[in-house]
């Protein structure tokens, strides 16, 4: 034990009434005296929930973490926090990411723990936990759920999300029967774990590894692989050492770790959602990160051949060598940066070997050149918007066309299959009201379906523009996160059907080709939309949420407060 008094001793090391209360009630669970002798107390922050099926394996992993903590001389205590089931929550799990972050932050701060292991996986659970932990800044390490086994159906591999989008368009086009569609359901999700495409969950796990916030190989090991359970055990051992080394989150993560995450996101063909999550995490850590910083990923090639940018799935990525190989291929592009090992990130790729070059490509002979996310600007998105070229159609990345506007999601759903909808393959579909304040919660509806009459003609991609997000598993030429959002009065609110819009992804341009004078007239005539919620958490969220280019955190949650709470409850 180090000289410094442990944080937990402010709870369990007191020989007075307060110490009695803290220890005595914990002893009702059968913990012996020596659990309170000053050893590191490790909080295991668990987002297990039956309503978050992606995290259903976390109970097993929590037990493995505990074995590692005891082995290293620590005392593990598991606690639940709000869990966000991406596929189950309405209107969108993103509405609650900041609420989870508040739960995590206040749980860590209020309890007598010295270090924390974050158990998460499903899309919003990883960033929500990291945001909350960052605002307290104890030694912190991540164990991810890990991906589901590859989906299987009719003798072939199918991918979470990505094939749902595909199948659903095929049904609408009449190319797939409804009974086949229903049959694919059970084969798609056939083990514990997160989406096994490079969706947001596996993207965030990959970026956490690139940031050095977990043990190497954490990102890709399948949820049910025994090696993940062993990794959880080793993580339990490591967090005890981290407490002894006083290796807090801010001593591990600096701007360089975020830059490495951005580079890795390009190489893995990662989710657009990583942008809002990284921005929000950086805000908590008081690290100056902005949309411009994402441009360093623009020239990085696509190396990982996983859906939605490629064809394989996370199991294949794991067996090909996983993130250590990606970090090795990125080589000198990766910035020197600390990790939870207390060593430079280069330690994560030491001895890495690629076992399948069709799954992980070499940097010099990539799957696609210059594949990172592009930041777009122009009068349609003065504060920025993004597009993911690796998942888009090359011929649409520079495109000028006529807008067809949906004023709301309900408008879009009611009219998209109208045989008289005045659209063709060159039309640019525009959706308003899908931003942070608008939906509320910035849902994943930016990849609007292709209008029914065009899908039947074989059209499978069109330019789509919105202030919403899209699933990390989705694909298409989709402009997202337009900022400021329409509900907050961004120029997106002023677009009308028939306007011309110019997109040039390579040049980073998104222009509404309408005179300023006309836009000013439209702005003067604009009626402020009524908020969807007038009480409760959703109201707090609408009143305080920041725009997408700022990470969509709540304004009063940015930054951190690392003070020890000294006042007692009795
Ligand atoms: Fe949970 Fe995809 S829905 S990871
Ligand atoms: Mg998703």
Q: Look up the CATH number of the domain holding residue 442.
A: 3.50.30.80
Q: State whether 144 and 251 are in the same domain.
A: yes
CA distance 39 to 242: 13
Nearest ligand (C-alpha, residue 125): 1
Q: Which residues line ligand 1 (CB under 6 A)?
A: 54, 86-87, 122-123, 160, 194-195, 199, 201
CA distances from 350 to 37, 106, 217, 321, 405 (A): 38, 37, 12, 12, 51
Kindly state the tokens that stand for 214.
Answer: 């977990």
Count of CB atoms within 10 A of residue 501's CB? 23
> Does 179 fall in a domain?
no
DSSP string, 45-82: EE---TT-GGGTTHHHHHHHHHHHHHHTT-EEEEEE--
3-state secondary structure of 376: strand
Give domain status of residue 91, yes or no.
Answer: yes
Residues 229 and 288 in one domain: yes
Pocket test for ligand 1, best of 88, 149, 199 (most atoms within 8 A of CB): 199
Do residues 342 and 424 share a domain? Answer: no
Q: Running DSSP on this structure, what letter comes out for residue 172?
A: H
Instruction: Specify whether 82 is located in the same domain as 209.
Output: yes
Same domain, 380 and 344: no
Whether 144 is in a domain gets the answer: yes
Q: Ligand 1, closest atom to CA 194?
A: 4
Q: Tell me whether residue 38 is in a domain.
A: yes
Q: DSSP string spanning 274-331?
A: HHHHHHHHHHHTT----GGGGGGGTTPPB-B-BTTTSSB-HHHHHHHTHHHHHHHHHG
In a domain, 228, yes or no: yes
- Same domain for 412 and 321? no
Q: Whose CA is nearest to atom 2 of ligand 1?
A: 195
Residue whose tokens read 């774990």: 193
Q: How far apart are CA 423 and CA 25, in angstroms?
A: 67
- Residue 310 structure tokens: 């490629």
Q: Ligand 1, from 122, 144, 164: best to mutate by most atoms within 8 Å of Cβ?
A: 122
Q: How far apart are CA 282 and CA 289, in angstroms?
A: 6
Rg (CA), the chain: 24
Q: Within this chain, do residues 199 and 284 fall inside the same structural domain, yes or no?
A: yes
Of the bound ligands, which one is closest to the alpha carbon of residue 202?
A: 1
- CATH number reported for the structural domain that contains residue 256 in this entry: 3.40.50.2300
Ligand nearest to the CA of 471: 2
Tokens (6 digits) for 487: 């509900």
- Same domain? 391 vs 314: no
Ligand nearest to the CA of 53: 1
Rounded Cα gap, residues 214 and 206, in angstroms: 10
Ligand 1 atom closest to Cα of residue 160: 2
Relative to beta strand 478-479, strand 463-466 is parallel
Residue 173 in tokens: 């086009």
Distance of CA 279 to the CA centre of its chain: 11
Ligand 2 geometric centre to CA of 40 (Å): 36
Which atom of ligand 1 is least distant from the CA of 199? 2
User: Distance between CA 368 and CA 269 in Å, rounded?
Assistant: 10
Rounded to the nearest 10 degrees, how much is the dihedral formed by the CA atoms of 417, 451, 478, 403?
Answer: -100
Ligand lying closest to the C-alpha of residue 200: 2
Rounded CA separation 134/537 (Å): 22
**Residue at 385 is within a domain:** yes
DSSP class of 81: -
What does the pLDDT read at residue 430? Answer: 98
Which residue out of 89, 119, 185, 195 has the highest number of ligand 1 atoms within 8 Å of its CB and is therefore the one to mutate?
Answer: 195
pLDDT (0 to 100) of residue 2: 43
Pick from 206, 210, 284: nearest CA to 249: 284
- For the stretch 400-422, pLDDT in tens is 999 999 999 999 999 999 999 99
Distance from the alpha carbon of residue 480 to the mean position of ligand 2, in angstroms:
15
Distance CA 141, CA 153 (A): 36
Nearest-atom number in ligand 1 for the CA of 55 is: 1
Are 494 and 467 a contacting pair, CB within 8 Å?
A: no
The dihedral sign for the CA sequence 159, 161, 165, 168: positive
Give residue-wise pLDDT tens across range 121-161. Answer: 999 999 999 999 999 999 999 999 999 999 999 999 999 99
Residues of the chain with pLDDT below 70 are 1-3
Residue 555 lies in a domain: no
The two tokens of residue 384 are 């920025």
Specify whether 426 is located in the same domain as 338.
no
Work out how many domains the chain is built from and give that number: 2
> Would you say residue 269 lies in a domain?
yes
- Rounded CA-CA distance 283/134 in Å is 9
Residues 6+ away with beta carbon under 8 Å from 541: 95, 98, 99, 436, 440, 441, 554
The pLDDT assigned to 1 comes to: 43
For residue 429, which of 461, 457, 397 has the smallest C-alpha distance? 461
Q: 530: which residues sit within 8 A by CB, 6+ positions away?
A: none
The answer on 507 and 398 residing in a single domain is yes
| Distance in angstroms (rounded) separating the CA atoms of residues 410 and 428 | 18
Residue 526 in contact with residue 558, Cβ under 8 Å?
no
Same domain, yes or no: 120 and 224: yes
Q: Which ligand 1 atom sits closest to the C-alpha of 53?
A: 1
Contact 482, 381 (CB under 8 A): yes
Residue whose token pair is 């914990």 = 26
Residue 429 and residue 311 share a domain: no
From 54, 189, 271, give the residue whose CB has the most ligand 1 atoms within 8 Å, as the site to mutate. Answer: 54
Distances (CA, A) of 555 to 100, 284, 547, 551: 15, 11, 10, 10
CA atoms within 13 A on the CB side of 382: 10
Pick the atom of ligand 1 nearest to 202's CA: 4
What pLDDT score does 3 carry?
57
Omega within 30 of 0 (cis) for the link into 91 = yes
DSSP code per residue over 476-527: SSEEB--SS-TTTT-GGGG--TT-EEEEETTTTEEEE-S-HHHHHHHHHHPP
List CB-based neighbours of ion ligand 2 within 5 Å.
123, 199-200, 471-472
Domain extent for 337: 12-149+191-348
Q: Answer yes or no: pTM beyond 0.95.
A: yes
Interface TM-score (ipTM) > 0.85: yes
Mode of pairing for the β-strands spanning 428-431 and 463-466: parallel
């Amino acid at each position: 034990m180090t000289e410094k008094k442990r944080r937990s001793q402010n709870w369990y090391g007191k020989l007075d009434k307060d110490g009695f209360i803290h220890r005595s009630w914990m002893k009702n669970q059968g913990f012996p005296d020596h659990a309170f002798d000053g050893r590191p107390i490790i909080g295991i922050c668990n987002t297990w929930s039956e309503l978050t099926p992606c995290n259903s394996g976390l109970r097993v992993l929590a037990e493995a973490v505990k074995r590692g903590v005891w082995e290293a001389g620590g005392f593990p205590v598991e606690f639940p926090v709000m869990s966000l089931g991406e596929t189950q929550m309405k209107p969108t799990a993103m509405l609650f990411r900041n609420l989870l972050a508040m739960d995590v932050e206040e749980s860590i701060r209020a309890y007598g723990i010295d270090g924390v292991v974050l158990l998460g996986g499903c899309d919003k659970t990883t960033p929500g936990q990291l945001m909350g932990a960052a605002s307290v800044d104890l030694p912190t390490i991540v164990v991810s759920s890990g991906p589901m086994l590859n989906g299987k159906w009719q003798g072939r591999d199918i991918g979470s999300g990505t094939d749902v989008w595909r199948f659903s368009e095929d049904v609408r086009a009449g190319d797939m029967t409804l009974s086949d569609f229903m049959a694919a359901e059970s084969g798609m999700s056939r083990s514990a774990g997160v989406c096994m495409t490079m969706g947001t969950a596996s993207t965030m796990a990959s970026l956490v590894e690139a940031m050095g916030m977990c043990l190497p190989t954490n990102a890709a090991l399948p949820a049910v692989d025994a090696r993940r359970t062993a990794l959880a055990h080793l993580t339990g051992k490591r967090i005890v050492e981290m407490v002894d080394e006083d290796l807090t989150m801010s001593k591990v993560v600096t701007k360089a770790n975020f830059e490495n995450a951005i580079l890795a996101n390009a190489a893995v063909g990662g989710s657009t959602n990583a942008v809002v999550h990284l921005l929000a995490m950086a805000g908590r850590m008081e690290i100056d990160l902005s949309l411009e910083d994402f441009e360093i990923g623009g020239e990085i090639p696509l190396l990982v051949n996983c859906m939605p940018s490629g064809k394989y799935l996370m199991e294949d990525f794991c067996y090909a060598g996983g993130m250590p190989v990606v970090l090795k291929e990125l080589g000198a592009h990766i910035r020197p940066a600390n990790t939870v090992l207390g060593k430079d990130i280069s330690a994560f790729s030491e001895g890495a070997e690629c076992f399948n070059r069709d799954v992980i490509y070499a940097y010099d002979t990539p799957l696609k050149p210059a594949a990172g996310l592009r930041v777009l600007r122009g009068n349609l998105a003065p504060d920025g918007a993004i597009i993911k070229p690796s998942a888009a159609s090359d011929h649409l990345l520079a495109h000028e066309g006529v807008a067809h506007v949906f004023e709301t999601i309900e408008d879009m759903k009611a009219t998209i299959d109208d045989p008289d909808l005045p659209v063709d393959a060159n039309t640019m579909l525009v959706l308003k009201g899908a931003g942070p304040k608008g939906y509320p919660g910035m849902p994943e509806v930016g990849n609007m379906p292709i209008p029914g009459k065009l899908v039947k003609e074989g059209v499978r991609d069109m330019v789509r523009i919105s202030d919403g997000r899209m699933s990390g598993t989705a694909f298409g030429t989709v402009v997202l996160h337009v900022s400021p959002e329409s509900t907050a009065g961004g120029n997106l609110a002023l677009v009308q059907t028939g306007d011309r819009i110019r997109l040039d992804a390579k040049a980073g341009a998104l222009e509404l080709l309408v005179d300023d004078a006309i836009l000013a007239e439209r702005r003067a005539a604009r009626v402020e939309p009524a908020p969807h919620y007038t009480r409760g958490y959703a109201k707090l969220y609408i009143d305080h949420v920041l725009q997408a280019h700022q990470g969509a955190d709540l304004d009063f949650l940015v930054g951190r407060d690392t003070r020890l709470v000294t006042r007692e409850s009795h």
